[in-house]
Structure 1
């Protein structure tokens, strides 16, 4: 039995970051005894950005660990499933055909004598198919419009790994409901003052009320309302590597008669790229662009032209993005999580993933008012490593382009200069397959060698292996994979059918 008074954690800011953090810490710290009183102070005057509507597949494990019912989660958030990202137009067209490739979440099967990637290249398969077509099951599902689940798939399981397309506003609302049911206190108030002594936050003021805590978690978005009070000059900008610093987002009705796609689409545009994310009830779209080369009016016009005049627009929002991360995420008794800690453009849907990482790390580092600097340094080192690794993975998508139709794309290859490790590896990967050992020891928590290969070879950055194998030596591997793909399609449902069944069960 815990006889000491519970420590107090105050999370300032709601949204996905605030409620994911609060519900996660409550699950870990208060499972068998009330070790922490956790309060979320959420302003009714400050809206949720709410356009980050796609996830990576590891978020499934976060929701599963919380004990959330997956079907309920999907229904409550108008969610669909995501098996990967279809990239379009990131290189020049060839023979009149737009460049495209698919980046799935899936692991790649191994060959007996040789890994499947080496075998694929040595047998010249790049002359007849895309890399993802030759090594993954997800591409076959994507082409057939199938999701990862069959009619009896267990919760959080599918024939291939998957993430979600999810309404961020509804997700925050759903997590708030679950958190408060589990004992998290919710206060609707706007913070008017932050009381600080040295590197310690003593309290936050909201109206006539003053809230004290042992630990404060800053989930106030790009403002960094709390962390900015404790440490100045605490930001590392990534804009030289990732110059896209603005976005315009449009929510629109789905095309009549078209089922939600079980994948995200990312189409390169004149000065950035356009996302398309299908929920059950609508499509979320947006243009992430370099605001130094394009005005907000020009960006919106380009996005609307891309979507077409027949689009039924429900909502349009313009966003400024602060690209980079904190030098120190944990200062004194304050920890910045979510946008207040950092942001990398959403090309690979890593926003919720980074919140998940931060909340998990915070739980293992046991935050207290008297936390030692060594513990804070450990948290800061790991979080910084996560952001730096993700930065270079996103740069990988840009620096391999051969597009030269705008200043933006002509400048893109030089962004690799901001990532010395990546620049060195690209030279090495000209002569060998990208493999696990190349990334071993890095901070990467979601994008491993397999993910690098999907992008490297999707962007046609092929190694010169200068080896040969006997005629048909890859045929057996290819035939086995084709057979597995047929089976995967046969045991899964068309994505639209799965979603209809899921939502009809509620009624």
Structure 2
């Protein structure tokens, strides 16, 4: 954390993804935790029956409460790697890369910096990489070249499937800014919807990273940068970096003796850090399939099948964030409200969840275990997609209110055991 200028991340605060409510901007929080407290009976029904006096996340999530008070996830005397709630990190990616390189080299990995000038292909496999300073040969090649797909691209033509019809945000403009006097790093990511996409705000120890993810078919780079600067109120401060993104994934991630991991394999969009999830899942999956120097084609086929399923599951979860909007101020949001049509599975689930609570078995059998029914609930109920259940009796409603009151007491007790985020960061 010290070397990467890292901060803690309790979750994501979503703002303005729907119209204002009673004159107040729409907000909800998506934490890392499961229901609060663990092991208790499901809190959704009491929340629905108890009058819904506050947001779902505010009712059941300690992470939401901690974030509202600018507290980090750690208890006052918490040991390393443990917290009051599950948490993530905000990291400086450049510093992390340098740190991991140093640790890897110290562990015996050979690091060579070179530019690939030619990829030799023979029999559907890579035979060598030709660089200015020599030739590199290996049994297995892992393509981490990003959107250029420098290694796996020459191996197979017509190997790309686009998601842009459902998720059209294919551009981003990023801008790093120092903190103003009195500002402190926040223990959560903020995702604020604008007219043609959304803005991220990610706090590190010494600066705040900002970026506008938008539909490049609707805005020019100059227009997007201007909108981001207006939102941030930063004038011409800072240098903007413009990014082009390929939204979709390969049909085959493992071709011959080459495996595409990370952006070379595909990308959904920055929302919910799915890119990081996919790198983690891809490497873990590869570890279970790479059981010999030249795995059988059946092994490669299974790897490709599983990753295709994982990408489709994650794509469906990201579509969920957009399709429940009631914003109609721009064509972007009017189109976003119809994006569930690109996922028949999600369309059916949304119809189902109008009539019952979203539960574990509704999503059982999915390829990806990253986002469960707990995660779906935070988005569904944060975006006001609630089941239409019969009105609870007064006795049931009072029982629900009593249970929610006990939950709130537990949340307040946990808050007292934590500390402000800035006090939890390493010196």
Instruction: Pick from 220, 224, 237 the counterpart of residue 299 of structure 1.
Output: 224
Contact 2:65 2:415 in 1 (8 A): yes
| 1:160 matched to 2:82 | no
Change (3 A) 1:163 1:113: closer
Aligned counterpart, 1:37: none
Unaligned runs of 5+ in 1: 1-73
Indicate yes or no: 2:415 matched with 1:485.
Answer: no
Alpha carbons of structure 1 residues 113 and 216: separation in structure 2 relative to 1, 3 Å? closer
1:245 aligns with 2:170: yes
**TM-score normalised to structure 2 length:** 0.97
* Corresponding residue number in structure 1 for 2:212: 287
What is the 5 A alignment of 1:79-118? 79-109=6-36, 115-118=42-45
Closer/same/farther in 2, CA of residues 114 and 311 from structure 1, 3 Å limit: farther
Q: Which residue in the other structure is 2:345 paired with?
A: 421
The answer to whether the 8 Å contact 1:137/1:481 transfers is no
CA drift of 1:115 comes to 1.9
Which residue among 339, 354, 357 is the counterpart of 2:281?
357
Per the TM alignment, residue 382 of structure 1 is displaced from its structure 2 partner at its CA by 1.3
| 1:432 maps to 2:356 | yes
Q: 1:274 aligns with which of 199, 209, 216?
A: 199
State the secondary structure of the residue aligned to 2:111. strand
Q: CA deviation at 1:445?
A: 2.0
1:333-482 → structure 2 map (5 Å cutoff): 333-366=257-290, 368-469=292-393, 470=395, 471-482=397-408
Q: How does 1:107-186 map to 2 (within 5 A)?
A: 107-109=34-36, 115-125=42-52, 128-186=53-111
Count of aligned residue pairs for this structure pair: 425
The 3-state SS of whatever aligns with 1:261 is: coil
Matched residues in 2 for 1:113 and 1:224: separation?
47
- Structure 2 distance, partners of 1:364, 1:111, is 31
Q: CA deviation at 1:385?
A: 1.2
Structure 2 Cα separation of the partners of residues 133 and 488 of structure 1: 14
Structure 2: which 5+ residue stretches go unaligned?
A: none
The CA RMSD measured in Å over matched residues stands at 1.5
- 210, 214, 232: which one aligns with 2:135: 210
Deviation per CA, 1:83-135, whole angstroms, max 9, x where unpaired?
0000000001122111010011111037999621012112221xx21111111
